[in-house]
């Protein structure tokens, strides 16, 4: 018999399995034979329905390779039925007072807690992740999301006054956090008053189905939440469904790109949470033992199948060797095994295809010359397991340093200076998350804002909370989940009537698209026939093409000529805007001062600008003057905001602070509306630069002279070279060039639907954020023409997590 002292010698673990009895019973209840192989329906309109497609597919437990259920492959008729159920439920659900929706969400949180054990076990069986994680992390966070969003529903009328739900939302989620992704998607959508059609990933549909049943038990009105299963084909049908008002997607950048193109020009709102290759930066003064545990949580948590996994270890060369030795020792002690065993660290990889992907990329790493290390013990042979893996001697350009592996594979590189660390960290097309490890708070807070990522964790990693937005920069997508910023993804402003109906035809075509034919007023015209150049890098620059474009008055008189911008002019303007990035680091006060100065200089020339506008548009002297006055006032508005659009400190569940910082996006391309050529232009350019972006703006195509007249105002207002660049010419052609340009970070387009679609499609190249509108906005109305909506579009939120205490 083994003695206690012998056990102390080896400290070997005995098996400690969590019972799967309840989960098996639940599966059996759904029609399976012998307790396994349950056959589900789709959850539509509050009840289980058989799929019209008549097709099912198997759901496999990756730790045992056994089939545990069969779920429908929803086809077109099924998707249509689910969307119709959501549409039918929308008026009732969105019409409820916030308090009523808050009570439902609260009830959902309670139900999740009540069924926590069933959900945790089912999640482990379906996905292969350890029960320790599902029980202690996934499911508690699911409940937390519903509680938190019950609060937003309650506060909606006061905190989101003037905003309404978007409508019917299609949500497509991945397999790595199946139920947590349900919560991240469903909670804000329902809180805001939308109705939902949710499609879980084909590998892991079971907890979403269990959740649907729980929802029904909680008395949620039928049709408010519908769950349809299927693979990417079902996802694509949902994306294309005409009556869906918004798509929220989490998954690969590749599919995100397909969805961006598919929704382009449809008017559907879109949020994308995509892949990552997140840096985990260790400075030489970091507490290395904490770092080791941090790395375990960063890359071996959930077998590394985490979009924000700290998959690139960047370590100061002075401590690299010591850290690698410690890591290897720790890896030797990690336990890979049956997910339901409470004492294992890592479970199974979700599916053979993912296992093959990991193996393929690891082989590639070895082929490319990096050093691969794995612990001496072997993984279970039954089931899809993969050991924790560490690569050293990796070049920053190596495939494994660039491509998202989505497995338990850590890639280590070293750096010498903080500057080099930041460069290495940003050497990726992604920008989801980062961890910074140092005992020096000055260094941490200096480095955090320099990293292009939506979340930065200081001395911690992979911490999430409903109160803090999560989401990416660059090719990691756009939009945030969680917090106040996440709620905006599911709301639209009330005046924007066209949206949310699913009926694109209800949107009126931009007023500016139609030329005004009103005869010119008798106000004396300024005696000018000038040729305007471009405004690039702070100077009036000769256009590349020698043929100018004539600008004529409504009565046919020729007013002036402007440059016919082309690809080369845009390229120069983007280069100038990029070179002026230092603008982002000036203080809000400085930016505000400059905007006030522009306003002041414009105001002194009110008569001249008003005459110009009237001559161009024939709008009449009064309206022209009103437009100039409004433009001056708008500049004041954003001068005011420049030092006031502050971030937040989120009350998350850590002991510490989570700072939500509003950061500029970078270089923003802006195509201004045709209507109100001065005010429309100023209404877009001013908020963009107020928060630190630099812009390449294309003024109204028909009436560009208000913007070209601004050149001299800008020249006398201390605007640093390159902050505002103006290229005149064919708006739609130039917009397409900007949207295609890989060094433009966001593109705003205000014009016609076809060109808006083109812009959205083209933006998929580097997944730049777009804001493309073709319906009329009254720029003179401050509700429509200015305010937080513009500032939100001009910024991205970075959450910096700073735990404290010894």
Catalytic residues: 273, 307
Helices 606-617 and 677-690, packing angle to 10 deg = 120
Pairing mode of beta strands 795-803, 656-664: antiparallel
Closest CA to 231 of 39, 55, 47, 67: 55
Q: Among residues 98 and 275, whose Cβ is nearest to ligand NAI?
A: 275
DSSP 537: T
Binding mask 333-372 for ligand NAI (x = CB under 6 A): ---------------------x--x---------------
Per CB under 6 A, contacts with ligand NAI among 517-536 are none
Q: Among residues 235 and 383, whose Cβ is nearest to ligand NAI?
A: 235
Site for ligand NAI contains 42 (CB under 6 A): no
Residue in the block written with tokens 């270890």: 313
- With CB under 6 A as the contact rule, which of the stretches 112-120, 196-204, 613-621, 770-778 interacts with ligand NAI? 196-204
Nearest-approach distance from CB 390 to ligand NAI, in angstroms? 19
Q: Which of 128, 205, 251, 502 binds ligand NAI (CB under 6 A)?
A: 251
Q: Which of 131, 201, 348, 776 binds ligand NAI (CB under 6 A)?
A: 201
Two tokens at 244? 């869906």
Q: Among residues 174 and 193, whose Cβ is nearest to ligand NAI?
A: 174
Radius of gyration of the chain (CA): 28
Per CB under 6 A, contacts with ligand NAI among 555-614 are none
Per CB under 6 A, contacts with ligand NAI among 479-498 are none
How many residues bind ligand NAI (CB under 6 A)? The answer is 26
Q: Among residues 247 and 762, whose Cβ is nearest to ligand NAI?
A: 247
Nearest-approach distance from CB 410 to ligand NAI, in angstroms? 15
Q: Which of 38, 275, 669, 673 binds ligand NAI (CB under 6 A)?
A: 275
Q: How far is the first Cα of the chain from the last one, in angstroms, to the nearest whole number?
A: 44
Q: Among residues 257 and 625, whose Cβ is nearest to ligand NAI?
A: 257
Q: Among residues 307 and 757, whose Cβ is nearest to ligand NAI?
A: 307
* Burial (CB count <10 Å: 0-12, 13-18, 19+), residue 517: exposed
Q: Among residues 174 and 669, whose Cβ is nearest to ligand NAI?
A: 174
Q: Report the length, in residues, of the chain.
A: 806
Binding mask 165-194 for ligand NAI (x = CB under 6 A): -------xxxxx------------------
Nearest-approach distance from CB 462 to ligand NAI, in angstroms? 13
How many angstroms separate the Cα of 646 from the Cα of each of 483, 653, 782, 797?
15, 22, 21, 11
Two tokens at 338? 């049956």
Nearest-approach distance from CB 244 to ligand NAI, in angstroms? 12
Closest CA to 747 of 566, 453, 756, 664: 756
Is 425 in a helix, a strand, or coil? Answer: helix
Nearest-approach distance from CB 228 to ligand NAI, in angstroms? 11
Burial readout 414-428 (b: 16 or more C-beta within 10 A, e: otherwise): bbeebeebbebbbbb
DSSP 525: P
Site for ligand NAI contains 400 (CB under 6 A): no
Beta-bridged to residue 492, according to DSSP, are: 164
Residues 296, 345: Cα–Cα separation, whole Å: 9
- With CB under 6 A as the contact rule, which of the stretches 25-33, 199-207, 457-465, 761-769 interacts with ligand NAI? 199-207
Site for ligand NAI contains 231 (CB under 6 A): yes
* Residue 607 near residue 728 (C-beta atoms within 8 A): no
Q: To which H or E segment does residue 312 belong?
A: strand 310-316
Site for ligand NAI contains 71 (CB under 6 A): no
Q: Which of 37, 75, 128, 235 binds ligand NAI (CB under 6 A)?
A: 235
Site for ligand NAI contains 202 (CB under 6 A): yes
Binding mask 298-317 for ligand NAI (x = CB under 6 A): ---------x----------
Nearest-approach distance from CB 67 to ligand NAI, in angstroms? 19
* Residue 564 near residue 549 (C-beta atoms within 8 A): yes
Per CB under 6 A, contacts with ligand NAI among 123-162 are none
Nearest-approach distance from CB 307 to ligand NAI, in angstroms? 3
- With CB under 6 A as the contact rule, which of the stretches 2-10, 49-57, 153-161, 232-240 interacts with ligand NAI? 232-240
Site for ligand NAI contains 236 (CB under 6 A): yes
* Residue 73 near residue 55 (C-beta atoms within 8 A): yes
Beta-bridged to residue 372, according to DSSP, are: 391
Q: Among residues 307 and 642, whose Cβ is nearest to ligand NAI?
A: 307
Site for ligand NAI contains 258 (CB under 6 A): yes
The residues, ordered by sequence, that sit 6+ positions from 456 with a Cβ below 8 Å of its Cβ are 433, 434, 435, 436, 448, 798, 799, 800, 801
Two tokens at 662? 């509003």
Pairing mode of beta strands 42-44, 530-532: unpaired
Q: Which of 140, 232, 429, 782 binds ligand NAI (CB under 6 A)?
A: 232
Q: Among residues 86 and 794, whose Cβ is nearest to ligand NAI?
A: 86
- With CB under 6 A as the contact rule, which of the stretches 78-86, 246-254, 735-743, 772-780 interacts with ligand NAI? 246-254
Q: Which of 142, 197, 274, 409 binds ligand NAI (CB under 6 A)?
A: 274
Q: Among residues 174 and 664, whose Cβ is nearest to ligand NAI?
A: 174
- With CB under 6 A as the contact rule, which of the stretches 32-40, 161-169, 251-259, 798-806 interacts with ligand NAI? 251-259
Two tokens at 36? 């396994």
134-142 contact pairs (CB < 8 A, 24+)? 135/18, 138/177, 138/179, 138/180, 139/112, 139/179, 140/116, 141/180, 141/183, 141/464, 141/465, 141/466, 142/112, 142/179, 142/180, 142/182, 142/183
Residues 438, 267: Cα–Cα separation, whole Å: 45
Residue nearest to ligand NAI (CB): 235
Two tokens at 738? 């900007």
3-state secondary structure labels for all residues of 156-170: HHHHCCCEEECCEEE
* Residue 63 near residue 383 (C-beta atoms within 8 A): yes
Q: Among residues 406 and 748, whose Cβ is nearest to ligand NAI?
A: 406
* Residue 236 near residue 262 (C-beta atoms within 8 A): yes
Q: To which H or E segment does residue 302 belong?
A: none
Cβ of 749: how many Cβ atoms within 10 Å?
29
Residues 219, 221: Cα–Cα separation, whole Å: 6
Per CB under 6 A, contacts with ligand NAI among 739-778 are none
Nearest-approach distance from CB 175 to ligand NAI, in angstroms? 6
Residues 459, 80: Cα–Cα separation, whole Å: 47
Q: Among residues 18 and 138, whose Cβ is nearest to ligand NAI?
A: 138
Nearest-approach distance from CB 480 to ligand NAI, in angstroms? 14
Nearest-approach distance from CB 756 to ligand NAI, in angstroms? 21
Q: Among residues 252 and 640, whose Cβ is nearest to ligand NAI?
A: 252
Q: Which of 250, 302, 374, 683 binds ligand NAI (CB under 6 A)?
A: 250
Nearest-approach distance from CB 78 to ligand NAI, in angstroms? 14
Site for ligand NAI contains 673 (CB under 6 A): no
Site for ligand NAI contains 75 (CB under 6 A): no
Q: Which residues bind ligand NAI (CB under 6 A)?
A: 172-176, 199, 201-202, 231-232, 235-236, 239, 250-252, 255, 258-259, 274-275, 307, 354, 357, 404, 406
């Amino acid at each position: 018999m083994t003695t206690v002292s012998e056990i102390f010698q080896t400290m070997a673990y005995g098996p400690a399995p969590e019972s799967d009895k309840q989960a098996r019973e639940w599966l059996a209840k759904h029609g399976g034979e012998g307790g396994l192989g349950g056959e589900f329906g789709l959850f539509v309109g509050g009840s289980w329905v058989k799929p019209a497609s008549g097709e099912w597919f198997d759901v496999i437990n990756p730790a045992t390779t056994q089939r545990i259920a069969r779920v429908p492959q929803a086809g077109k008729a099924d998707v249509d039925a689910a969307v119709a159920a959501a549409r039918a439920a929308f008026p009732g659900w969105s019409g409820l007072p916030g308090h009523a929706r808050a009570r439902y969400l609260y009830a959902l949180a309670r139900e999740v807690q009540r069924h926590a054990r069933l959900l945790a076990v089912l999640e482990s069986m379906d996905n292969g992740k350890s029960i320790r994680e599902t029980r202690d992390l996934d499911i508690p966070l699911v409940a937390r999301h519903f509680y938190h969003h019950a609060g937003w529903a309650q506060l909606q009328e006061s905190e989101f006054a003037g905003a309404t739900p978007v409508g019917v939302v299609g949500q497509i989620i991945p397999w790595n956090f199946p139920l947590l992704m349900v919560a991240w998607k469903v909670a804000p959508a329902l809180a805001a008053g939308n109705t939902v059609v949710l499609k879980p990933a084909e590998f892991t549909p079971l907890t979403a189905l269990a959740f649907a049943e729980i929802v029904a038990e909680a008395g949620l009105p039928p049709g408010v939440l519908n769950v349809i299963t299927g693979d990417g084909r079902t996802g694509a049908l949902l994306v294309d469904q005409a009556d869906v008002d918004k798509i929220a997607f989490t998954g690969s950048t590749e599919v995100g790109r397909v969805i961006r193109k598919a929704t382009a020009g449809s008017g559907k709102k879109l949020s994308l949470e995509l892949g990552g290759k997140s840096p985990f930066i260790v400075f030489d003064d970091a507490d290395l033992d904490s770092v080791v545990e941090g790395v375990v949580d960063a890359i071996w948590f959930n077998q590394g199948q985490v979009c924000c996994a700290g998959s690139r270890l960047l370590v100061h060369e002075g401590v690299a060797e010591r850290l690698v030795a410690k890591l290897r020792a720790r890896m030797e002690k990690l336990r890979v095994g049956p997910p339901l065993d409470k004492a294992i660290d890592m479970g199974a990889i979700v599916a053979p295809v993912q296992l093959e992907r990991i193996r393929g990329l690891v082989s590639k790493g070895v082929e490319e010359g990096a050093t691969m290390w794995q612990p001496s013990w072997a993984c279970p042979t039954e089931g899809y397991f993969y050991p924790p893996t560490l690569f050293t001697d990796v070049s920053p350009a190596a495939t494994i340093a660039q491509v998202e592996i989505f497995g338990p594979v850590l890639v280590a590189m070293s750096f010498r200076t903080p500057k080099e660390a930041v460069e290495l960290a940003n050497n990726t097309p992604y920008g989801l998350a980062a961890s910074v490890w140092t005992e020096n708070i000055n260094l941490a807070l200096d480095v955090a804002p320099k990293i292009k990522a939506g979340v930065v964790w200081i001395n911690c990693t992979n911490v999430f909370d409903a109160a803090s937005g999560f989401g990416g920069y660059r090719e990691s997508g756009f939009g945030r989940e969680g917090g106040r910023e996440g709620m905006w993804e599911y709301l639209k402003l009330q005046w924007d009537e066209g949206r949310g109906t699913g009926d694109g035809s209800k949107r009126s075509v931009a007023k500016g698209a139609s030329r005004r034919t009103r005869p010119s007023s008798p106000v004396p015209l300024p005696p000018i026939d000038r040729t305007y150049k471009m405004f690039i890098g702070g100077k009036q620059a000769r256009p590349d093409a020698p043929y100018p474009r004539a600008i004529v008055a409504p009565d046919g008189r020729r007013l002036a000529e402007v440059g016919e911008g082309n690809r080369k002019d845009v390229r120069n303007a983007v280069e100038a805007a990029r070179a002026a990035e230092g603008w982002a680091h000036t203080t809000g006060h400085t930016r505000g001062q400059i905007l006030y100065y522009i306003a002041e200089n414009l105001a002194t020339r009110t008569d001249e600008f008003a005459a110009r506008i009237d001559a161009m548009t024939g709008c009449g002297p009064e309206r022209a003057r009103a437009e100039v006055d409004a433009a001056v006032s708008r500049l004041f508005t954003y001068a005011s905001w420049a030092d006031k659009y502050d971030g937040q400190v989120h009350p998350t569940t850590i002991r510490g602070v989570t700072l939500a910082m509003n950061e500029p996006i970078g270089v923003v391309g802006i195509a201004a509306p045709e209507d109100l050529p001065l005010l429309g232009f100023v209404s877009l350019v001013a908020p963009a630069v107020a928060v630190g972006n630099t812009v390449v703006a294309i003024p109204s195509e028909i009436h560009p002279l208000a913007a070209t007249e601004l050149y001299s105002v800008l020249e006398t207002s201390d605007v640093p070279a390159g902050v505002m660049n103006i290229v005149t010419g064919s708006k739609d052609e130039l917009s397409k060039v900007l949207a295609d340009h890989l060094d433009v970070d966001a593109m705003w387009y205000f014009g016609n639907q076809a060109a808006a679609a083109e812009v959205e499609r083209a933006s998929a190249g580097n997944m730049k954020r777009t804001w493309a509108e073709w319906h009329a906005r009254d720029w003179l109305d401050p509700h429509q023409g200015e305010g937080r909506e513009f500032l939100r579009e001009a910024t991205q939120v970075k959450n910096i997590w700073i735990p404290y205490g010894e």
